[in-house]
Structure 1
Amino acid sequence: MNGNKPILVVHPQVGAVGGSEFSLAVLLELLTNDLNLKTVLLTHEMFPVSEFNRVWRTNINYENLEVISLKFPRKFASTFSYLKCARLSSYVKKNLSKFSLVISAYNPLVDIEKTISFIRDVTFVQYESSKARQFVYKLINLFFGLKGEISENNIMVSNSEFSRRVIKEHFGIESCVIYPPVYVVSDPEKIPWYERENGFVYIGRISREKRVLEIIDVVKALRERGYDLHLHIVGTGNDRKYLESVKLSCSQPWCKMEGAKYGSDKEEIILSHKFGINLCYNETFGISVAEQVTLGEVVFVADSGGQVEIVEDEFLRVKDKEDLLSKFEILINNEGKMQEVRKKLKDRVQRFHKDFFKEEVKKLLERF
């Protein structure tokens, strides 16, 4: 890296409470504080980056940080991801000589070489075969003077082995894996296991692909088998029809919709319960699952995607409803097995700590 030039970090949209924002905050802490490097952040700033240290308890050195905020029309703020990518890529391409290194903190830029690109979401590959989408992409590229190519000369950093395989399959590009850091404040031992409630917690978006109705059905089936369990659903959704279906199915006393919860409010729900559940197929990583495991919950997940790497234990990876019911019954009735599973989960959480993330990123920076 050229020490006379700042590092450019690119993130398409800074909100307040997302997992990618915490990863960004930790990255900025590493660059500006730990390494004392001049850094420029290029983003659409919907939440002030100046508040990161307060919100995320990081130590960003703001004297070393400049924020360039490119404004997008409000209706484009949470949609049209490729339009934002193209605009950011165009800016970087025109100003590339001003920076010693470019780091894309949320998915790759296009037409930019020799960058570090963190893969945070691989759902965009589902649109690669859409002719209509490709036509729109071409128009956007034409407007910004881009080819729309992802360079093989970049260092690609996937957030799971699952993401790594997807990127390799669709783009033919190899990537390394660094798990994103998980933000938790509470001590996982704050509430002992034997004092926690025999209940499940789901945390995430309430949408069809998250299979929330199936989660309710699983807990209902376990109750019908005689287990005194309950369910907390933490999150919100934009699909009103599906949301109403979930509310209707969750109208029993043992099922409670909590709405959106953040910080200590969310952590208190996790800490007070023994079990977590996430049945979404092919999660890119599963930051909520990692939070729940870090805070001591035993989490059952669908046997696909990056979330299986979080729990790792095949006993917590379920193929279908009957598989989950069977495994839960074995676990709840076998104290030795329960202790074994909990120990394995406890041993895994270190790799989701921000210090582990920073050490891995430093190894990448040494290559420049």
Structure 2
Amino acid sequence: MDLMSKGGGEAVAMNVLEALQGDHDLTLLTLTDPDLRELNDYFDTSVDVGSLTVERAGYLAPWLNDRFGLKYYVLQNALLGRYARRHSDEYDLLVSTINELGLESNAVQYVHFPFDWTVSCDDREHIFHPTVEEDSLYERLATRVAGVDREDIRQNALLANSGWTADVVEDAYGTRPEVVHPPIDTREFEDLPWSEREDGIVTVGRIERSKRIKELIRITEGVRERGRDLHLHVIGPTVDEEYREEVEALASGRDYVELEGEVPREELVERICTHKYGIHGKEYEHFGMAVAELAAGGAIPFVPNEGGQHAIVDDREELLYGSVADATEKIARVAADPDLQRELREPMGPSAIRRRFGRRRFQRRIREIVAEAMDRPATGVPGAPTDAPAERPASGD
């Protein structure tokens, strides 16, 4: 809906555009006027600004986004899908990178987390968007506008960002999507020796309430009280000004907390590569691209118990926490044990993350899936005709 939000979903969208631009004429349906050059710099992508057509999806949804930001996020999502469905006959294929939309049968849909409000899952109130109350008038309106048909969803090429998300999609629709992990940019990360890193923690993500940054400050404070002189860097763009003010107030007077906000890509990479630890605060995270980047930079990442980020840390109990107190104890324990640090770092670093979650893998699979959906041979992938052009290297990989 708004690429300038610069989150994981927006990174996926930019990589899909980059993957497909060599073989297809692309139109981006969105709610804003994105600065694609800035986004290329931020995500280290190479989307061809001159050849991409950007089209606002009608009037109401863009107006809602401009006037209220994320306040009516779910309704905006529904209106975007409705607009795409109405204009579907203008295109050979629709590809959604903003979860499942009512796009009828001929579509590719990448689901970060399903918007099916009837899905029965535990902790529903923690997982769905905070503006939505179950069975409220607003929820019913958004559901009606979205017009998502379960049978259409089953016939789409359905993808999910993690096994955890795939489980929930299967619960919602009775069909299991293919897991295609998001693309992680690893090129700039350097696996610096442990002895050259600072005794500090880095957290990366948008400054908003669901990221639980205040809790991360309290965790760092608790670790320091246990004799470990760690500091905390908070990096990411602000999307909730009220919450940022709360974070600033809590950080005030704590000189071990540096609230950096959005920084250039090279500074982000430098912070990760020169620090020993990372932490993520969002519970029920669908995948956690920021966690994968922390691991790519060689930092040891600590993540909440619930969500798709388990795949990144290989379900290591030492790195999974259930509360502020639990995280405090686990970080303090790891910080005090050099042998455990070495053991936990083994699956980390640029080469390991590239093998598991790299961009080349993601973009190649997206081209294959789109080719299959259009009943065409894919170029640059196994099985393509011998005179097909060679695969273009994915930027940043």
Asked if Structure 1 and Structure 2 have the same fold, meaning a TM-score greater than 0.5 normalized by the shorter chain, the answer is yes
Distance 2:44 2:50 in 1: 17
CA distance in 2, matches of 1:355, 1:15: 24
Give the structure 2 partner of residue 216 of structure 1: 217
1:96 counterpart residue number: 88
Partner of 1:258: 260
Structure 2 residue aligned with 1:17: 6
* Shift in alpha-carbon separation, 1:340–1:63, aligned structure 2, 3 A: same
The 3 A distance-change label for structure 1 pair 86 and 301 is closer
8 Å contact kept, 2:41–2:265: no
Structure 2 counterpart of 1:163, from 156, 165, 178: 165
Match of 2:323 in 1: 320
Q: Secondary structure at the match of 2:266?
A: helix
Distance 1:257 1:54 in 2: 22
State which of 72, 79, 82 in structure 2 corresponds to 1:87: 79
The structure whose residues are more often strand, as a share, is 1
The one-letter code matched in structure 1 to 2:218 is D
Map 1:345-356 → 2, pairs under 5 A? 345-346=348-349, 347-356=352-361
Q: Could you give the per-residue CA deviations for residues 160-219 of structure 1, whole angstroms, max 9, x where no partner exists?
A: 122112222233332111111123552323x43211110111222444433323222222
Partner deviation per Cα, 1:55-91 (whole Å, 9 max, x = no partner):
5443445675433233511215544334433433333
Gaps of at least 5 residues in structure 1 are 1-11
Give the alignment of 1:111-126 within 5 angstroms. 111-122=103-114, 125=117, 126=128
Structure 1 residues 238 and 268: alpha-carbon distance in aligned structure 2, compared to 1, 3 A threshold: same
Q: Tell me the amino acid that sits aligned with residue 312 of structure 2.
A: I
Q: Cα distance, 1:17 vs. partner? A: 3.1
Unpaired segments of 5 or more residues in structure 2? 118-127, 374-397
Q: Give, in whole Å, the separation in 2 of the partners of 1:326 and 1:77.
A: 38
Distance 1:202 1:196 in 2: 16
**For 2:288 and 2:266, how far apart are their aligned partners in 1?**
19
Gap change, CA 1:54 and 1:213, over 3 Å in 2: closer
Question: Amino acid of the residue matched to residue 353 of structure 1?
Answer: G
DSSP-derived class of the 2:155 partner: coil
Q: Secondary structure at the match of 1:188?
A: coil
Shift of 1:44: 2.4
Once residues 183 and 115 of structure 2 are traced to their aligned partners in structure 1, the CA distance between those partners, rounded to angstroms, is 20
* 8 A Cα contact 1:216 1:250, kept in partner: no
Q: Tell me which residue corresponds to 2:298.
A: 296
Contact 1:250/1:257, CA 8 A, preserved across alignment: no
Does structure 1 residue 247 correspond to structure 2 residue 239?
Answer: no
Q: SS in structure 2 opposite 1:68?
A: strand
Q: Percent identity at matched positions?
A: 26
Counterpart in the other structure of 1:310: 312
Moved more, 42-51 or 170-179: 42-51
C-alpha offsets along residues 69-114 of structure 1, whole Å, 9 cap, x if unaligned?
3351121554433443343333333333332221112112215223
- What is the CA-CA distance between 1:231 and the residue it aligns to? 1.5
Alignment correspondent of 1:28: 17
* 3-state secondary structure, aligned to 1:156: strand
Q: Is 1:204 paired with 2:205?
A: yes
SS at match of 2:312: helix
Cα separation, partners in 2 of 1:55 and 1:305, compared to 1, 3 Å: closer
Q: Could you tell me how far apart the structure 2 residues matched to 1:50 and 1:202 are?
A: 25
- Correspondence for 1:361: 366
Aligned residues of 2:223 and 2:329 also touching (Cα < 8 A): no
Alignment deviations for residues 206-242 of structure 1 (CA, whole Å, 9 cap, x no partner) = 4443332322222222222211211222243526367
RMSD: 2.9
Partner of 1:200, secondary structure, is strand
Structure 1 CA distance for aligned equivalents of residues 133 and 174 of structure 2: 14
Alignment match, 2:55 = 68
Amino acid at match of 2:13: L
Cα distance, 1:208–1:168 mapped onto 2, change above 3 Å: same
Q: Which moved more, 1:125-134 or 1:176-185?
A: 125-134
> Which whole-Å CA distance do the structure 1 matches of 2:102 and 2:209 have between them?
31
Mapped contact 1:282–1:306 kept (Cα < 8 A): yes
Q: How far apart, CA to CA, are the structure 2 residues paired with 1:252 and 1:55?
A: 29
2:30 alignment partner, SS class: strand
d(CA) in 2 for partners of 1:119, 1:174: 11
CA–CA separation in structure 2 for the residues paired with 1:325 and 1:54: 35
Paired positions, count = 349
